């Protein structure tokens, strides 16, 4: 039985991961900014993180798995997205995971065990046109996770990053941004995906069982990342065709 804290657990992947951990007999503290969780935790609030840490220490006396899952959708072409949009998505998708990590690392170091699981995205590994801010913060979450793994290995604490392609959730309800052309494309990809949050959650738990540090949980994501690594020229042709299509659609 593991003691697991999940952020963004009221919806989508956070809810599916919570269900999957519980189905294995783990105890889950579901946190979210929205109703439908055990504990209100806005991942952009230091006070909320301090309260979550105190709650975990009082009720469980420790933590085995911290899942930094909560996030929002954003993006937009370079000359359309505003700097405020960059700040907004960075504050939630990057600093949310940074705050969670900073809040719990002292406890994990003290107990000399545990795991941090950060939900990034395939966008952290391959970087489509029109999504610079989302790509950049998710790539930063990939880097944060690798660094965490190196820094905490000596303490018996592991770090794992999850990099899925598009799957069906409520993610697009959080979308903000001036680039409506990009919003339309992203919405279609999320809403028409054949992959469910439960599919991703099952693959994440399998990846954790294997001890994978980078979990690429679905075939479309593995194909895209594989192509980038093995045939960069073809990958660039495909990415630039997508960029042209986005620009064309915006006219």
Ligand X SMILES: NC(=O)c1ccc[n+]([C@@H]2O[C@H](COP(=O)([O-])OP(=O)(O)OC[C@H]3O[C@@H](n4cnc5c(N)ncnc54)[C@H](O)[C@@H]3O)[C@@H](O)[C@H]2O)c1
190 binds ligand X (CB under 6 A): yes
Give the shortest CB-156-to-ligand X separation in angstroms: 26
142 binds ligand X (CB under 6 A): no
Cα within 13 Å of Cα(230), Cβ side: 6
* Residue among 134, 166, 225, 235 flagged as catalytic: 134
Closest CB to ligand X among residues 8, 149: 8
145 binds ligand X (CB under 6 A): no
- Asked if 124 and 139 touch (Cβ cutoff 8 Å), the reply is yes
Give the shortest CB-132-to-ligand X separation in angstroms: 15
Closest CB to ligand X among residues 101, 121: 121
Out of 26, 27, 33, 235, which residue is the one contacting ligand X (CB under 6 A)? 33
The region of 56-64, 162-170, 223-231, 233-241 touching ligand X under the rule CB under 6 A is 162-170
Closest CB to ligand X among residues 98, 155: 98
135 binds ligand X (CB under 6 A): no
Query: Rg (Cα) of the chain, in Å, rounded?
Result: 18
Give the shortest CB-250-to-ligand X separation in angstroms: 22
32 binds ligand X (CB under 6 A): yes
218 binds ligand X (CB under 6 A): no
CA distance 161 to 168: 20
167 binds ligand X (CB under 6 A): yes
174 binds ligand X (CB under 6 A): yes
Out of 12, 76, 128, 149, which residue is the one contacting ligand X (CB under 6 A)? 12
Instruction: With CA atoms as reference, report the closest residue to 45 among 3, 2, 5, 7.
Output: 7
134 catalytic? Reply is yes
Residues labelled as active-site residues:
134
């Amino acid at each position: 039985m593991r003691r697991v804290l999940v952020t963004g657990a009221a919806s989508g992947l956070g809810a599916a991961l919570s269900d999957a951990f519980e189905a294995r007999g783990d105890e889950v503290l579901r946190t979210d900014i929205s109703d439908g969780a055990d504990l209100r935790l806005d991942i952009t609030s230091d006070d909320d993180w301090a309260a979550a840490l105190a709650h975990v220490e009082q009720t469980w006396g420790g933590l085995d798995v911290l899942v930094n899952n909560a996030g929002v959708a954003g993006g937009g072409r370079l000359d359309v997205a505003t700097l405020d949009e960059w700040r907004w998505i960075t504050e939630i998708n990057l600093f949310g995971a940074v705050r969670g990590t900073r809040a719990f690392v002292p406890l994990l170091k003290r107990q000399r065990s545990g795991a941090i699981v950060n939900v990034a995205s395939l966008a952290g590994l391959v970087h489509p046109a029109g999504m610079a801010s989302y790509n950049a913060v998710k790539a930063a979450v990939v880097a944060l996770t690798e660094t965490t793994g190196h820094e905490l290995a000596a303490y018996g604490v592991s770090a794992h990053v999850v990099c899925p392609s598009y799957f069906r959730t409520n993610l697009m309800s959080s979308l903000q941004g001036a680039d409506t052309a990009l919003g339309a494309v992203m919405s279609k990809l999320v809403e028409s995906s054949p992959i469910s949050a439960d599919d991703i959650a099952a693959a994440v738990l399998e990846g954790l069982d294997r001890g994978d540090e980078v979990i690429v949980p679905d075939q479309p994501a593995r194909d895209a990342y594989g192509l980038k690594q093995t045939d960069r020229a073809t990958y660039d042709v495909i990415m630039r065709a997508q960029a042209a299509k986005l620009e064309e659609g915006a006219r």
